Amino acid sequence: MASTTLTRLLKPLLLPLSSGDHFIDPPVVLAPMAGITNAPFRTLCRQQGAGLFVSEMVTARALIERRPETLRMIVPGKDEWPRSVQLYSVDSTTMRAAVTMIGRENLADHIDMNFGCPVPKVTRKGGGAALPYKRRLFSNIVAAAVEAAKPFGIPVTVKMRIGIDSDHHTYLEAAQSAADLGVVWVALHARTAAQMYEGKSDWSAIARLVEHLKPNGVPVLGNGDIWSGRDALNMVQETGCAGVVVGRGCLGRPWLFSDLVSTLQGSDKELTPTLYQVREVMFHHANLIVEYLESEDRGMRDMRKHMAWYLKGFRVPHEIRHDLGMVCSLVEMRGLLDRLEDQPYPVEVGDKPRGRTSHGRPPTLPDGWLDDPDELVHVELEDAFSGG
């Protein structure tokens, strides 16, 4: 497809900041991922062309309690802008306080709200993907965030799933409510909470949401099963979404963003780095983490989980692969990487699904959660954890 056609298909995405209108072009967003999208990883993705890079999910309660690790999680990387923070809460008062704190202390330029997390420690509190089922509670929390952010000129967006399970879809009504309350856009992960990360995402739901919100003029971003630039292009063509949100597809492949940008600008050439090129990205990533955590020991422990993702599909001797998964220092890592033999990128394996592949299961919900969607419940406050 010619780039001129793509330009008409996918316009720059407006993010109205207090400093003036900012356009994400092309609209390619790094999804928040617990334990992954810290400042070093966001820096890598930004260097590869991501237009917006969202922090790990943090709880509003942990933020207003000023938990040290939570405050560290929202610190931007060097030259990172716009600064984007994702908040989670099951209480409108707590959400309002957290957004007000962010605004008063100039901690972020953009706030995304999590209504899509499917993990039990979140849904058992009525949070994440469970929360939109309670219509009034959902509307109250979104309204609190939008109202608190407005005096500071901070745009608010939401990310959600299709619903709790196949019998309880919530995305159309919840997205309409959020749009009416003033969110800038809605991002939809086209799976239910019950699906977790199993099976294929239902892109037709993204297309339905695009049509549903057209009268409001609120853009919809699509999320789910984007493993290559071609996948992103297919999603845009099939759904009419205004942008794409990428999560698991960039694990061990931050250059996916270069591929996405290139494809969405009309190129049909896929970026396929050699193993030598990949190893340099790995070492750069490790250095960024060590610098960020101000500890080589903590940094290398954090880096270990990325090794298998980076090396997926490459022919790597078992001993080296094992030792990289246990690496303790930058010097040791450099020595192991230098023992690798160069080889082409394994497209058939490297572009396949990666990251969490949790099997579907009934979501863990508060007792009686599904009894009445209009009941304004008082839920137990979320644990002050940071993850999900």
Give the pair of three-digit tokens for residue 25: 């072009």
169 - beta bridge partners? 163
Q: How many Å is the Cα radius of gyration of the chain?
A: 20
Run of H or E residues at 13: strand 13-17
> Torsion angle, CA of 32/158/206/241, rounded to 10 degrees?
-80
Distance (Å, whole) CA 235 – CA 207: 9
Angle in degrees, 0-180, between the axes of helices 275-293 and 330-338, rounded to the nearest 10: 180
Distance (Å, whole) CA 373 – CA 70: 32
Q: How many CA atoms lie within 13 A of 351 on its CB side?
A: 19
Q: Identify the DSSP state of 144.
A: H
Distance (Å, whole) CA 57 – CA 136: 23
In this structure, are residues 211 and 230 in contact, taking their beta carbons and an 8 Å threshold?
no
> Cα–Cα distances in Å, from 184 out to 157, 195, 360?
5, 27, 31
Distance (Å, whole) CA 371 – CA 129: 17
Q: How many CA atoms lie within 13 A of 270 on its CB side?
A: 18
Which candidate in 117, 241, 250, 328 is catalytic?
117
In this structure, are residues 354 and 312 in contact, taking their beta carbons and an 8 Å threshold?
yes
Distance (Å, whole) CA 149 – CA 111: 8
> Cα–Cα distances in Å, from 75 out to 94, 137, 148, 185?
21, 29, 21, 24
- How many residues comprise the chain? 388
* 117 part of the active site: yes
> Chain-centre distance of CA 180, in angstroms?
23
Give the pair of three-digit tokens for residue 355: 């990251």
Give the residue numbers marked as catalytic: 117
